[in-house]
Amino acid sequence: MNRVKVMQTKLMTKTGNQAVELRVRDLLLNVLTVSSGAVDAISFLALGKVFSAFMTGNIAFLGFRAAGADGPSAVAVLASMGGFAVGVYASTRIVKRSEGSGVWPRDVTVALGLSLIAHAVFLAVWFASNGQPSTDVAHVLLGLWGLAMGMQSAAVRTLHVDGVFTTAATATIILLVGDITNWSATVEERRRLAGVLVSLFVGATAGGLLLVHAPIYAPVLPAVITIAVVVTALIVFQTPRSVKLPAEFRLL
């Protein structure tokens, strides 16, 4: 009986650990959404009115250009979209090996860590141009941030959290508002979806404020956020916590 009680205690501990991991996962998704909101605010306001994460808007911009209406440069839009596509491809190749394994698979952290290379190069180029890049340099920066956001999007997609993409809010709004018709989502799910929308707003606001009051340091925010997410994920999700039941207990 004592052994059974010990194993029950371990199982309760494991359940508690999983609940903590789910809360941390949702927090990290919100934080990544803050990052993408800041990225889009800064890239739109400082890099030629083009988004680095919100590809729906960029496709609309291409439509404007095709119609002969005013809009961002097609080269700028394609640079961002091309970088995003490459990022999605690269990240998908990384994370597909561990898809479905745990709350936050190790390869998700690896993909986000590699996206920091694009953030680092972006900052190097940004500082070299004193925060005032030429048109050609801006295209390079859009490609770099598009790459980082594409990697982030593909990595988060592996987690299969409904309505959460961190780089777009359309699906989140659909699920959150659509749930009003039948109220089928749990409180935790509604809180998660609402948190994504608030985080996107907070990120865009923070990016805009930094660009107005401290433009040279504005792009540091998304990089710092991504570093914090990677470090937190390494601490929380890559620490072994599995509890393996002995054969005799599994027969009880």
**pLDDT tens digits for 47-85?**
999 999 999 999 999 999 999 999 999 999 999 999 999
What is this structure's pTM?
A: 0.86
Expressed in percent and rounded to 5, the helix, strand and coil fractions of the chain are: 75, 0, 25
Return the residue matching tokens 């993408």. Answer: 36
* pLDDT number for residue 163: 85
Question: In Å, what is the CA distance from 94 to each residue of 60, 200, 227?
Answer: 30, 26, 18
| Cα–Cα distance measured from residue 136 to residue 252, given in angstroms and rounded to the nearest whole number | 68
pLDDT at 7 over 70: no
| Cα–Cα distance measured from residue 16 to residue 206, given in angstroms and rounded to the nearest whole number | 34
Mean pLDDT of 193-204: 96
Mean pLDDT of 243-247: 37
Question: In Å, what is the CA distance from 50 to each residue of 142, 151, 185?
Answer: 8, 18, 35
pLDDT at 156 over 70: yes
| Cα–Cα distance measured from residue 164 to residue 155, given in angstroms and rounded to the nearest whole number | 12
